[in-house]
Structure 1
Amino acid sequence: MPAPLLWFGAACLGLYASNRANDAYLKSTNTVRTLPGDSSKRITPRNGAIVTCGIYGVLDHTGVWVNGNIYELSGKGLIRSVSPERFLHNRTGKKIYVACDEHYMPLAADDVSQRCIDNLFQLRDYHLINNNCHQFVAEMLTGERTKITSFSDLNEALSSLFLTSINWHEAKVDFR
């Protein structure tokens, strides 16, 4: 049985290396100035802000902040509203990060919160690559389905939409 574990480990290592290369590319193009974990600045999220947390150091999970909760597309395809604690539950990331501009203002659009609320409890055909949390977040921002497959793609979309470099800062969150 060690062979499947070796293949799994090799796949994780490859994914980690690929993510680090994508991170370096995003920084070199000024798409992202500060990655999650690179800043000690703490920011209070506002409604419609984009948030993320880490999963095993190789993946990122994203959602939208609305009224103190986070709207996300779960791995079962359900659009749901969860507490910040639940957003981190069963993920290795211990902190939530919020996308900001260079002036520490959370990136958010006025109609994003309502769009999230309107989509609550919808069920989608979840797919890790083709219909994931990043695509859900982009759709809530723009109102249109977009081909977003990775955290890097989402950062590029955010940078284009808000016309700024993305700065990920730790969210000031009250855990209940």
Structure 2
Amino acid sequence: MPLPLLWLGVGLGALAAGKHLARHQVRHSVLHHPGESAQSVLVADGAVVCCGVFGVFDHSGIWMDGNVIELNGNGLIRAVSPQRFLANRSGNTIYVACDSAGNVLADALAAERAAARLFEYSAYDLLRNNCHQFVQSCLVPQGECVTLFNELNLSLARHFRQPLSWRPAA
């Protein structure tokens, strides 16, 4: 009987250590999370953008020609206006991934990849193929799988080789 309790304790300890490590990694990869900086920026093509969803989740996409290319929940990859990107979500602000000085981090190749996938259908899956995974695949086509916004932040910090500062779009 004590052995299963020991394994349970070890498992819970490992889980707690993993969560602490993940928080530590994100903390050093993101200087300002969405909503923590008031300095607005002009968005550039190839920038990663996000908005809040009901105060609990985040939705992400790639900025291109004044629109956001996103993977919609029905699986359609589409370009939507900033107003449509925010529609039916809790936030009224689009945030842009920037460096520590507030310069927009943009990747022209990611914009090209996103645009090339417009009007494709991709089997949407909340855990394996969501909006963050779409953004990740535009940045690094053969890259890791991301599910959560924190995982996307870590991947973006690695891709751009610097910590992120999410700033509101002007």
Aligned partners of 2:26 and 2:154 also within 8 Å? no
Query: Superposed, which structure 2 residues align to 1:1-176 within 5 Å?
Result: 24-26=23-25, 28=27, 30-144=28-142, 146-172=144-170
TM-score (norm 2): 0.84
Change (3 A) 1:69 1:40: same
The one-letter code sitting in structure 2 at the alignment partner of 1:138 is Q
The one-letter code sitting in structure 1 at the alignment partner of 2:165 is N
Structure 2 unaligned residues grouped into runs of 5+:
1-19
Aligned partners of 1:99 and 1:167 also within 8 Å? yes
Aligned match of 1:11:
none
Q: What's the secondary structure of 1:147's corresponding residue?
A: coil
Change (3 A) 1:26 1:170: farther
Structure with greater Cα Rg: 2
Tell me, in whole angstroms, the C-alpha distance in 1 between the residues paired with 2:25 and 2:150: 7
Structure 1 unaligned residues grouped into runs of 5+:
1-20
TM-score (norm 1): 0.81
Quote the offset at 1:105 in angstroms: 1.2
Aligned pairs, number: 151
Quote the offset at 1:24 in angstroms: 5.0
Give the root-mean-square deviation of aligned CA atoms.
Answer: 1.6
Task: Please give the per-residue CA displacement for 1:77-117, whole angstroms capped at 9, x wherever unaligned.
Answer: 11000000000010011100000011211111121111111
